[in-house]
Amino acid sequence: MKISIEVATKILYKGGVIAIPTETVYGIAADATNKKAIERIFEIKNRPSDNPLICHFYSFAQAKTFLNAYPKYVELLVNQFTPGPVSFLLPLKLPSSIQAATRGSAHVIIRIPMHELLLKLLKKISFPLAAPSANTSGKYSATTAEMVEADLGKKIDGVLDGGASSVGLESTILDCRNKDEIRILRPGAIGKEDIEWCLRNENIKVTDALSIEHTTPGSRYKHYSPATAVFQIQSEKEIPVKKNSIVIGLAEDLKKIPSNENLKLFSLGSENNLAEVASMLYRKMFELDALQVSEAYLIKRDFGNSAIGKAITNRLEHMLSR
């Protein structure tokens, strides 16, 4: 059920759970200080109970009231990239009213999203919003209100529809607990080069961490997967000879395939517009699942070393059935 911002505010104050739009993906949100509401998020998503939730704030000034001492460079990053598609893992001031959201951890991931409607909501309420991506655990994230409704519609108290998420992939997560090193725990639209450029006058090392799964206990599970089994093939030459095979790939790669009535081609967009490929990726998976076929074949591609290219590669790798 779609709801207005006024109704959303009321539901949140009563301890309800609603879907919220962000520029990355939709989230399912509750008052980060309300233990019962937080538990409901875990039930709704069927999320492993040790997997902490990102907390969303209207401003860094608000977030700071929840934080312990953090490295100086954090303010430079915050000024440069927020509101925006990036999140920061930082020390929590203890005791904390949001430790149900962090699952007892003394560290919290904070995010100041760049979405007008959500910022309006965050400004109206007096607490931060704990919000993981709006999807059943293990599945790709929702990037439209319709996708949220299809997956979780009956389980939540409403959806604040803010249109399609413009970035389309989850935020970059930066581990900022160390004073001279930043680890990128999850690649996203803000990349290593952006961070290095912002901190060019500081002596800070920026590293690509192995992955968030190595930092967070409850995230060592399947991620971003469609219901359809997707198998990777090296080139169009490996398309299996079967009736009604679905082949997924960039438009440029699909063009190389001779027309064949037994094949359904599923384009992810053009190599010349990776931002659009990213913004459409989960919506395409949703369309793929709607076809209700058991399997599909993804033509392997090097998406390059740009921030968005790396983020696309990361999500596609997680999606594959092996």
User: Considering the rule CB under 5 A, would residue 87 count as an interface residue with Mg ion?
Assistant: no
Q: How many residues does the chain have?
A: 322
User: With CB under 5 A as the contact rule, which of the stretches 42-50, 56-64, 133-141, 252-260 interacts with Mg ion?
Assistant: 133-141
Q: Which partner from the list Mg ion, ligand TXA, none does 215 bind, CB cut-off 5 to 8 Å by kind? A: ligand TXA
Pair of tokens at residue 129: 């919003």
Considering only residues 106 to 125 of the shown chain, the ones binding Mg ion according to CB under 5 A are none
Tell me: does residue 99 bind Mg ion (CB under 5 A). Answer: no
The piece of 99-107, 256-264, 269-277, 305-313 that touches ligand TXA (CB under 6 A) is: 99-107
Q: Is 286 exposed, middle or buried, given 0-12, 13-18 or 19+ CB atoms closer than 10 A? A: buried
Read off the amino acid at residue 123. K
Instruction: Choose among 272, 12, 31, 256: nearest CA to 129.
Output: 31
318: buried, middle or exposed (CB in 10 Å: 19+, 13-18, 0-12)? middle
Kindly state the smallest distance separating residue 82's Cβ from ligand TXA, in Å.
12
Q: Residue 267's beta-bridge partner residues? A: 249
Q: Does 40 bind ligand TXA (CB under 6 A)?
A: no
Select from ligand TXA, Mg ion, none the partner in contact with residue 107, using the beta carbon and a kind-dependent cut-off of 5 to 8 Å. ligand TXA
Among 82, 102, 144, 228, binds ligand TXA (CB under 6 A): 102
Binding of Mg ion by 133 (CB under 5 A): yes
- Put the strands of the sheet holding 263-267 in their side by side order: 229-233, 295-299, 245-249, 263-267
Does position 19 bind ligand TXA by CB under 6 A? no
Going across the sheet that includes 205-208, the strands are 18-20, 27-31, 129-130, 55-56, 107-111, 86-91, 172-175, 181-186, 205-208
Cα distance between residue 23 and residue 7, in whole Å: 21
Site string for Mg ion, 32-61 (x = CB under 5 A): ------------------------------
Residue 22: name its binding partner from Mg ion, ligand TXA, none (Cβ under 5 to 8 Å by kind). ligand TXA
Nearer to Mg ion, 60 or 216 (CB): 216
Which residues fall within 8 angstroms of residue 65, CB to CB, at 6 or more apart?
Answer: 93
- Alpha-carbon torsion, ordered 304, 307, 310, 314, to 10 deg: -160
**Nearest distance from C-beta of residue 143 to ligand TXA, angstroms:** 10
Question: Residue 54's binding partner, choosing from Mg ion, ligand TXA, none, with beta-carbon cut-off 5 to 8 A by kind?
Answer: ligand TXA
- The interface with ligand TXA within residues 216-235 (CB under 6 A) comprises 216, 218-219
Nearer to ligand TXA, 140 or 297 (CB): 140
**Contact of 171 with 186, CB cutoff 8 Å:** yes
Region for residue 6 given its phi and psi (left: phi exceeds 0; alpha: psi -120 to 50; beta: otherwise): alpha
151 Cβ neighbours under 8 A, 6+ residues apart: 134, 135, 136, 139, 142
Size of the site for ligand TXA (CB under 6 A): 27
- Does the protein bind ligand TXA through residue 93 (CB under 6 A)? no
Q: How far is the CB of 146 from ligand TXA (least distance, A)?
A: 17
Does residue 22 bind Mg ion (CB under 5 A)? no
Residues that bind Mg ion in the complex, under the rule CB under 5 A: 133
Residues that bind ligand TXA in the complex, under the rule CB under 6 A: 22, 24-25, 27, 51-54, 87, 89, 102, 105, 107-109, 111, 131-133, 170-171, 173, 212, 215-216, 218-219
